Structure 1
């Protein structure tokens, strides 16, 4: 009688058990891998912000001021002549450059700064026309760039991009995920103390007074600011905030909607009209785009132009807490609005403090009464300091010289 041979291999039942165990292990492992990758991306984002904070301090050491939000060059007699968008030879940028432009040599972008700070030949043929130093207006559309492209404004700078934000490509130009903090009041946030009417850029005593009272953040548009102006303390004041860039998906944090029939400067419960456009089934998104009171230009989206000082692109307002809706004024569409920070990270966003520290602020931070407060605050007449922010701890971190005391960690 022949001896029985030993069995080689698995039975069907054993194979199914092994496959089931492997499936369970993979199901347990994938979330951990994804969480680890997001943690790495979040750390990289924080490091980018720290580089910007270091750049702000190095800039201040060199020039005794912080980089200007909405600075640059202009024709004092007529800001529309020559056209800052379409004319190349003899043009200017109409005081529209963001705070990020001046930081380029301090964030390892010296080659880009050399292009910006010197005349640039758009077609490389050594013949006119040339872009003037500091470039044309960053408000240029992609159509303007088609004829005579100004490459610096179209450049995506790695330090300005959060690895968790997947936004790439057209219709954006050069994207940024980091934006200047303009404080807790949107009044004059777009122009500061310099009027921009009828093609003229001019100082006005009324505008100067109103801007001085209302523009209470670390940055003030078209104004020279120094660390000495941050009397609440650099460690207690937001310098900048993170923003998510638009993906073309009607995200309420990145696609601007207008409060139809409402002047945001006078409207208590300042985002209630815009909240009415939210999709009840997907509350992070607007309803069908055809029903929106929205800015129609596809380039008018959050973070689409890193060099443009317009608040929609490179600024945050400290009124609504992180990841709330953005809401633009109907009376002056696109120029100012309620523009909270946002991010693709879970539960909050990064904020850069004036001392260079980076804090992750959660969406649940105490932010006062969002139903009754207005995103417009003025200093009290004749007082030594301004009104306390109506937006609680969140708003007090957004003001630079109001005299609010930050008690404890945040």
Structure 2
């Protein structure tokens, strides 16, 4: 007797059940895959911060100082409108180079460094120039100069999607300038790069970070200890979306930012709390966070420990100060209407969840959450004209976060963070 085997096919119901099960499994797996990818990107970002820390230490070993934030060629002689250091200049960098520029040879970018320190005969588009670019290049806002347009992998966080114009070469890492924004673009010099006593006295009182614009800093100056002081931090670059952590809201009542860093909180859209409300006066489209790795300007390559990580960026229009300048007698040396040199409350930020990376002076990389203890956010900044808790030499009014950004205020940190 011959037995005939029967072949069974899937029914439509069975096929739909299998498809549904596969769909559920894929739905469960995709978030895990995305989380794993972000964890990998975050680790890569942390490694970049570590490389920058090693570069700073190797630079200090070679030159007995940290790379200067606000360096370069040229000084102004002519005083007048249009001749300030923030104006476009084809023949000098006008002391506008960030600490990321001299750091290049110490992060495996020797070839790019040699293009900068020698006369460069090429434009960014590859064409040959009749007259070569000068050594140390033009000011960082000159887009025809190739090195300033370079995208340097070590200076980019893989979690940040920002790319292309209107930015030059972007950076996701910035120098820490402390817990006060007063004269943070000027240091001890005027708009024409002339040393000035009032500016110098103000810088001594308010420039309290590991880096100080246009001045040399050394590890020996960090009296609070390298392990207790932030020297650099992560920043998100602007995507053109009115984000509060990547675009500057221009405050029309300048002194209020000095006396209340959270002044611009009122301009945030209550329905979309990560974005500025419509109608708020923002700086120009070219002045986005992290848009120029070579530019020392606070919005481009600096950070402050005032508002917590991912806080709003609030800038000052100096034309509104009208005698209330923190540098009395020199108001005319700080003209208004120049958005890219605004003193701005610019916190570190990132595309990671819940915080950002910072670099400590000893080379350690820490992830600081948005909820770090940050003291009184409406307290006045320390400045030369400050009194009480904001008098020169005072401990930071911004709690643990502020104390981590100062180099010599003698605050005691009695627990890990």
Q: Provide TM-score, normalisation by structure 2.
A: 0.88
Determine helix, strand or coil for the equivalent of 2:116. Answer: helix
- The 3 A distance-change label for structure 1 pair 243 and 264 is farther
CA RMSD of aligned residues (A): 2.3
- Match status 1:161 vs 2:161: no
Counterpart-to-counterpart distance in 2, 1:275 and 1:126: 49
Determine helix, strand or coil for the equivalent of 2:16. Answer: helix
Map 1:391-406 onto structure 2 (within 5 A): 391-406=398-413
Q: Which consecutive unaligned segments of at least 5 residues does structure 1 have?
A: none
- The 3 A distance-change label for structure 1 pair 321 and 83 is closer
Query: Of 122, 128, 131, which aligns to 1:129?
Result: 131
Partner of 1:238: 230
Counterpart-to-counterpart distance in 2, 1:8 and 1:56: 71
- Match status 1:277 vs 2:277: no
1:212-246, CA deviations, whole angstroms, 9 ceiling, x for partnerless residues?
Answer: 11100000000000000000000100000100000
- Match status 1:64 vs 2:64: yes
Partner of 2:43: 43
Answer whether contact 1:71 1:98 (CA < 8 A) is retained.
Answer: yes
Q: Which consecutive unaligned segments of at least 5 residues does structure 2 have?
A: 319-335
Q: CA deviation at 1:3?
A: 6.3
Partner of 2:167: 172
Map 1:230-269 onto structure 2 (within 5 A): 230-264=222-256, 266-268=258-260
Map 1:9-408 onto structure 2 (within 5 A): 9-78=9-78, 88=90, 91-122=91-122, 128-140=130-142, 145=143, 149-196=144-191, 200-264=192-256, 266-268=258-260, 270-272=261-263, 274-288=264-278, 291-296=279-284, 298-331=285-318, 332=336, 333-334=339-340, 335-370=342-377, 372-377=378-383, 386-408=393-415
Counterpart-to-counterpart distance in 2, 1:129 and 1:121: 7
- Larger CA deviation: 27-36 vs 277-286: 277-286
Answer whether contact 1:72 1:94 (CA < 8 A) is retained.
Answer: yes
Q: CA deviation at 1:376?
A: 3.7
Counterpart-to-counterpart distance in 1, 2:159 and 2:138: 31
Determine helix, strand or coil for the equivalent of 1:328. Answer: strand
Determine helix, strand or coil for the equivalent of 1:33. Answer: helix
Q: CA deviation at 1:130?
A: 1.8
Counterpart-to-counterpart distance in 1, 2:195 and 2:387: 23
